[in-house]
Amino acid sequence: MRIEMPSPDLPLRPQVELSGLWHRYRGPASSGDWTLRDINFQLKPGELVGLLGPSGCGKTTLLRLIAGFEQPERGSVSIAGRTVAGPGRWLPPERRGVGMVFQDYALFPHLDAWRNACFGLKRGQDSSRAAWLLELLGLKGLEGRFPHELSGGQRQRLALARALAPGCSLVLLDEPFSNLDVEVRLRLRAELPGVLARCGASGVIVTHDPEEAMAICDRVAVLESGHLHQCASPQELVNAPATAFVGRFVLQGNLLPASVQGRSCSTPIGSFELTADAAPGQTAAEVLVSQQGIELLPDEEAEAWVVGREFLGREWLYQVQLADLRLRLRLPLSRNYARGQRCRLRLLPGESARLFPSGQDLISTSAA
């Protein structure tokens, strides 16, 4: 199977472009609040972009708007330079040339694997691509089996083959690995970028797992309560989170309330020295500190205590309560603390952190 790719000398238009997109659900069971608010986003040809965020943030709604299962209240959706939704314009899903992989795969139980894979082909369309995809995805020899005769991983592969078989250049995946066991999930998600590349397809994948999104996606769009906080490469998200939410959700860092005076930043567990001047008059802020940036020391007189811990193989992940703060700390296995043990917290000297003043640009800090 040979895939024709655009000439590198030609400018590539976005595979998907969302402009000023707003959406909300109406009806007696709906609150009427905006599900998505002013979303602007571009998917480049050949990219795999993850939609990442907590449950209810609007990830699946955004995917459904691209696919055509929902119609935006404001804004527009374009696919390969063609407006498919917007003022006075609407194309149904079957005319958008988009492949869809649902969370439950949505395979037809009365069709065998071969007929499921060929379901989206037009009458008379060559089925050799479907055969190539089944072989590429390790399903050759299973064409006569029905979905209930396949494993979870095989069903996931079959759903992907069905989405790609018509020759779609865009595939949308709604948490496709959530129903798989850990070993199969890790293996299949590692295969996904290569499969899309072999097919010359771009992809958008919905996930609530930061590790999954950072592992396989070229860029990650982070959403919360209908807002798009940041869309950037995994490296950019780690090195320069745009908001406190990105730092907390994506990096799983600790956010500490802070008081800023000049170049000094005080938190409940220690002080930072600012490496850049704070904004004039800025006093209240939040400091993002990594899970490895806080020390835990036994102290029966301290106000903090261990409320839980997880064994991660090479280290402990502790949860520590300090007043109304719940902090997560990664410590070596040699630092063995019991639940309920009183401990003192301190910032590690030289630890880098990020300050998020209200309404101001991010300011770098380092522990004093």
CATH fold of the domain at 253-367: OB fold (Dihydrolipoamide Acetyltransferase, E2P) (2.40.50)
Q: What is the mean pLDDT of residues 305-329?
A: 94
Q: Where are the domains of the chain?
A: 16-239, 253-367
Q: What is the mean pLDDT of residues 259-280?
A: 75
C-alpha count within 13 angstroms, C-beta hemisphere, residue 193: 14
pLDDT digits (tens, 9 = 90+) for 133-161: 999 999 999 999 999 999 999 999 999 99
pLDDT digits (tens, 9 = 90+) for 320-342: 999 999 999 999 999 999 999 99
pLDDT digits (tens, 9 = 90+) for 174-193: 999 888 888 888 989 999 99
CA separation for the pair 132, 288 (Å, rounded) = 48
CA separation for the pair 353, 196 (Å, rounded) = 37
Average pLDDT, whole number, for the chain? 88
| Per-residue confidence (pLDDT) for residue 364, from 0 to 100 | 46
Indicate the SS3 state at residue 173: strand
CA separation for the pair 174, 109 (Å, rounded) = 20
39 within 8 A of 50, measured Cβ to Cβ: no
Q: What is the mean pLDDT of residues 270-290?
A: 72
User: Which strand (E) or helix (H) includes residue 130?
Assistant: helix 128-136
For domain 16-239, which architecture applies? 3-Layer(aba) Sandwich (3.40)
Share of the chain above pLDDT 90, in %: 66
Helix ranges (DSSP H) in 137-239: 152-164, 182-198, 210-216, 234-239
Q: What is the mean pLDDT of residues 335-356?
A: 88
| Per-residue confidence (pLDDT) for residue 4, from 0 to 100 | 42
Q: What angle do CA 305, 285, 316 make, to 5 degrees?
A: 30
**Does residue 9 register a pLDDT over 90?**
no
| Per-residue confidence (pLDDT) for residue 29, from 0 to 100 | 58
3-class secondary structure for 189-216? HHHHHHHHHHCCCEEEEEECCHHHHHHH
| Per-residue confidence (pLDDT) for residue 264, from 0 to 100 | 80
